[in-house]
Structure 1
Amino acid sequence: MTNSIKTARLVLRRWREEDKEPFAALNADPVVMEHFPATLSRAESDALAERADAGFDEHGFGWWAVEADGEFIGFTGLQVPRFTAHFTPCVEIGWRLARSAWGHGYASEAARASLEDGFGRLGLTEIVSFTAVPNVRSQAVMRRIGMTHDPAGDFDHPVLPEGHPLRRHVLYRIRRQG
């Protein structure tokens, strides 16, 4: 297993203890968390960081901590969703960056590197991504990295209750070329 991936401007790497404080700050930012049910407490954020890194030991992949210019800016990578839906089991690509890192193309750059790792080193044939319908920024990243919306795959997220404004999700897919 590789311990890091380098792109032109970013380092995707395993998590470190010192990542937890800036990760908690971005998870507490209501703008960053606008399309999630709630912001996260420090304890919830720390637990998420630990689960993200544990994925590497469990599956050989997970959510990478992302650095730009030596600074932690968020995560991107692959994971196995922990809920059941019509398209699971599957491998999902996701990302979450601090607001200060938005608008620089970092999410797309890091996600492309994660896709290459998934289709290359891991030999996956398909990777999915999903988000709440109003999250147009993440949907734009999905399109920029070559994913295609699968309208027949759109779903109500089973973790969110009926009537929740973020329950309806869109599903995007990408298949390995060749």
Structure 2
Amino acid sequence: MTEIRTPRLVLRRWLDDDLVPLSEIHADPVVMRSIGDGTPRSMEQTAEDIEAWEEEWDDEGFGIFAVELLGSGELAGAVGLSVTGAPDEAAGQVAISWRLGRVFWGQGYASEAAHAALEFALQDRGLDRVIAVLRTGDSASAGVADKLGMQAEGTALHPVHGHDLTVYGIDLTQYQE
């Protein structure tokens, strides 16, 4: 089982007990405003997300991690890697993403977890490049991308929801531990 420990977090595969706390995170409209169409997700949709993330782990050897606080064992959110299907400008590339419960914002957890996931992608999984597709104007996520050393490379429109996206990228030669 793939597990990564950082000074304050454990990134790990999903457990049945993660459904309720992740559903609570997904039910928060403030958390979800920059994800997908910006609407909260139901428990059923969250279960489908976890199932799809686990399938990607099986198919690709990487995926979205559950992010747990090392001290308390509390689920803070989800951070990891996926092969993106949209927008067309990014399709087929490996993207890093993050979403944490609002109570965990502003404490550096997203950057800490995303850095661990990026290191996993580039060093453990041998990927040459990772992107992030962020909703334009999401300054907190742009800040995380900046801390990862990612550079804005272009813009696109979300093919379904029509909002502006910014595509960030980093390759192995740009990566600094």
TM-score normalized with structure 2 length: 0.92
- Whole-Å Cα distance in 2 between the matches of residues 134 and 22 of structure 1? 27
* 1:164 corresponds to: none
2:170 to 158, 162, 174: 174
Shift of 1:86: 2.1
Aligned 1:10-159 pairs, distance under 5 A: 10-36=9-35, 37=37, 38-68=39-69, 69=71, 70-83=73-86, 85-150=88-153, 153-159=154-160
1:53–1:64 CA contact under 8 A, matched in 2: no
- Whole-Å Cα distance in 1 between the matches of residues 88 and 7 of structure 2? 36
- Whole-Å Cα distance in 2 between the matches of residues 76 and 35 of structure 1? 15
Q: Deviations over 1:45-75 (max 9, x none)?
A: 1111111122110100000000012111101
**Residue identity in the other structure for 1:40:** R
1:83–1:159 CA contact under 8 A, matched in 2: no
Shift of 1:93: 0.2
Q: What root-mean-square deviation, in Å, do the aligned CA atoms of Structure 1 and Structure 2 show?
A: 1.3
2:111–2:147 CA contact under 8 A, matched in 1: yes
Specify every segment of 5 or more residues in structure 2 that has no aligned partner in the other structure, as ranges: none
Q: SS of the counterpart of 1:78? A: strand
- Whole-Å Cα distance in 2 between the matches of residues 122 and 35 of structure 1? 28
- Whole-Å Cα distance in 2 between the matches of residues 82 and 16 of structure 1? 26
- Whole-Å Cα distance in 1 between the matches of residues 93 and 33 of structure 2? 25
Shift of 1:121: 1.4
TM-score normalized with structure 1 length: 0.91
**Residue identity in the other structure for 2:173:** Q
- Identical counterparts, % of pairs: 36
Specify every segment of 5 or more residues in structure 1 that has no aligned partner in the other structure, as ranges: 162-166
